[in-house]
């Protein structure tokens, strides 16, 4: 099919490349000249596994880039809207970009087209898109508006698109269902997964993925509710971690205990310095605002956001209690992105913590495998950026682990110990075991577990969990 994707950001670019890999002809539209030039030149502006390979495979063939939205709609059967939906001061989703795209569509309706909102938008948005298009005297039979929310996690967007747990389609008219079923057929009929050049299959892949067809309003709500639930799960375990700290329990063992219940599950149960990124913070505020507009006071979401904010403050207090005074201290920081596997620093807790520690007079030596370029744009010049973790920790008074990059969980600890001024590690992502860190001579602080110091063995509750007998 002929597909136009408007907005070549974290979502649009991944969606466009994947639709091309499914065999469709894709026009990726963007109003950012620089971004388009970079994409046409073969650059990949975001850090996404397998995206470079897909772009190299299809660029100039099935996948082309254009700034001409009108022309792109004229030559497409399906038009995806994947432009930004940032948060306004009032915490609502700013839909002005969505509206500006919708107003450009009516004049290009040279035949039946399906207009699909891909960006995360509040419920009722599809109705507004329909109204806008009709306001421009479009023939009601010449288009339909559908919702097809994305569930892509940054860093694994391509895998999440091609191996989704589910595909959700929100439609209010049967006519466009067949168009969208055809669009996703290579996934739902399983043929994509038989191809020799399919990207590697993740474990636990749902093959073929179910296609959930519902109304546009339900599809819009599925997206907001999914993200709100995941954020709530993270805030829940962070709250439990705080109780574990208060009583000397071990939150990792509590996670093992509760996560073994398949109704709860182990995923998204990792305590840390709280969630960040361009989705959870924005989507929770938007969902909270939508609920209020619909007359429901969704106070639970306020507490989810409050716990998340408090988690960062708790971590700062942990740093202060570990170092007593902060002024003049040299801190090594591993991780600046909002999570491992991405270069994105939007709403990154690591960035916020670094800014606060700088204001308290610390000097910071930071390393992040992918986010340095973006971090340099927002952090003051006083921050030193190291080439690797070992350069970052040299002569440091303490090491702070702020992003869960895999490589930070496999450091040469002897080398780290030898390079630091004081072997103090404050781990905001629980990448290490307190007992073994103490054995290797570190004073080790983490989330939801007692501090471990070399001379004082930590309490027996920190004994690493025995292998669970297979029940």
Binding site for ligand UDX (CB under 6 A): 6-12, 30-32, 35, 82-85, 97, 100-101, 119-120, 150-154, 227, 230, 234, 268-270, 272, 275-280, 338-339, 404
Q: Bridge-partner residues for 365, per DSSP?
A: 332, 384
Residues 309 and 287: their CA atoms lie apart, in Å, by 18
What phi, psi does 243 have (nearest 5°)?
A: -70, -40
Q: Name which of 279 and 357 has its Cβ closer to ligand UDX.
A: 279
Catalytic one of 18, 244, 279, 362: 279
The shares of helix, strand and coil residues in the chain, as percent rounded to the nearest 5, are 45, 15, 45
Q: Name which of 128 and 422 has its Cβ closer to ligand UDX.
A: 128
Q: Establish whether 279 is a catalytic residue.
A: yes
Q: Name which of 236 and 444 has its Cβ closer to ligand UDX.
A: 236
Q: Smallest gap, in angstroms, from Cβ of residue 366 to ligand UDX?
A: 17
Helix (H) / strand (E) containing 146: strand 143-147
Q: Smallest gap, in angstroms, from Cβ of residue 166 to ligand UDX?
A: 11
Q: Name which of 183 and 269 has its Cβ closer to ligand UDX.
A: 269
Q: Smallest gap, in angstroms, from Cβ of residue 229 to ligand UDX?
A: 10
Q: Write out the two tokens for 457.
A: 């063995």
Residue recorded with tokens 């209020």 = 292
Taking CB atoms, the residue at the shortest distance from ligand UDX is 9
Q: Name which of 150 and 397 has its Cβ closer to ligand UDX.
A: 150
Residue recorded with tokens 């350069």 = 391
Q: Name which of 173 and 355 has its Cβ closer to ligand UDX.
A: 355
* Neighbour-count burial for 431-445, b at 16+ CB within 10 Å, e otherwise: bbbbbebbebebbbb
Residues 146 and 144: their CA atoms lie apart, in Å, by 7
Angle formed at CA 375 by CA 374 and CA 381, multiple of 5 degrees: 125
- DSSP readout, 262-278? TTT-STT---SS---SS
Contact criterion met (CB below 8 Å) for 237 and 251: yes
Could you check whether the bond before residue 263 is cis, i.e. omega within 30 degrees of 0?
no
Q: Smallest gap, in angstroms, from Cβ of residue 152 to ligand UDX?
A: 5
Q: Which residues are catalytic?
A: 279
């Amino acid at each position: 099919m002929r597909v136009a994707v408007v907005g070549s950001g974290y979502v649009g670019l991944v969606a466009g490349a994947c639709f091309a890999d499914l065999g469709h002809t894709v026009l990726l539209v963007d109003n950012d000249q620089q971004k388009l030039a970079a994409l046409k030149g073969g650059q990949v502006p975001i850090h996404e596994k397998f995206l470079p390979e897909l772009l190299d495979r299809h660029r100039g063939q099935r996948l082309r880039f254009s700034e001409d939205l009108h022309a792109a709609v004229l030559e497409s059967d399906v038009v995806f809207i994947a432009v930004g939906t940032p948060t306004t001061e009032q915490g609502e989703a700013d839909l002005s970009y969505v509206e500006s795209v919708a107003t450009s569509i009516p004049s290009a309706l040279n035949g039946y087209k399906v207009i699909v909102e891909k960006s995360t938008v509040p419920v009722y948005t599809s109705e507004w898109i329909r109204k806008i298009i009709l306001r421009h005297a479009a023939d009601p039979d010449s288009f339909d508006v559908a919702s097809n929310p994305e569930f892509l996690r940054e860093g694994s967007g391509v895998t999440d698109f091609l191996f989704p747990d589910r595909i959700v389609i929100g439609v209010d008219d049967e006519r466009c269902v067949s168009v969208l079923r055809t669009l996703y057929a290579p996934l739902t009929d399983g043929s994509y997964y038989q191809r020799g050049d399919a990207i590697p299959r993740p474990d636990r892949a749902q093959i073929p993925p179910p296609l959930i067809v519902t109304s546009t309003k339900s599809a819009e709500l599925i997206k907001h509710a999914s993200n709100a639930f995941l954020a709530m799960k993270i805030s829940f375990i962070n709250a439990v971690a705080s109780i574990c700290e208060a009583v000397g329990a071990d939150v990792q063992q509590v996670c093992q205990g509760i996560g073994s219940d398949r109704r709860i599950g182990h995923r998204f149960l990792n305590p840390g310095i709280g969630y960040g990124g361009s989705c959870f913070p924005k989507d929770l505020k938007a969902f909270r605002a939508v609920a209020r507009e619909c007359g429901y006071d969704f106070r639970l979401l306020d507490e989810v956001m409050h716990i998340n904010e408090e988690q960062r403050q708790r971590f700062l207090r942990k740093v202060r209690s570990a170092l007593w005074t902060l002024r003049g201290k040299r801190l090594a920081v591993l991780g600046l992105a909002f999570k491992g596997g991405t270069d994105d620093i939007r709403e990154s807790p690591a960035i916020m913590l670094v800014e606060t520690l700088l204001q308290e007079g610390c000097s910071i030596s930071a390393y992040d495998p992918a986010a340095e370029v973006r971090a340099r744009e927002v952090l003051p010049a006083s921050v030193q950026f190291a080439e690797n973790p070992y350069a970052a920790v040299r002569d440091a008074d303490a090491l702070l682990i702020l992003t869960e990059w895999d490589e930070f969980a496999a450091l040469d600890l002897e080398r780290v110990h030898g390079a630091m001024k004081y072997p103090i590690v404050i781990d905001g992502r629980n990448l290490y075991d307190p007992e073994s860190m103490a054995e290797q001579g570190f004073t080790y602080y983490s989330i939801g577990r007692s501090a471990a110091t070399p001379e004082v063995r930590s309490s027996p509750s920190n004994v690493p969990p025995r292998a669970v007998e297979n029940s």
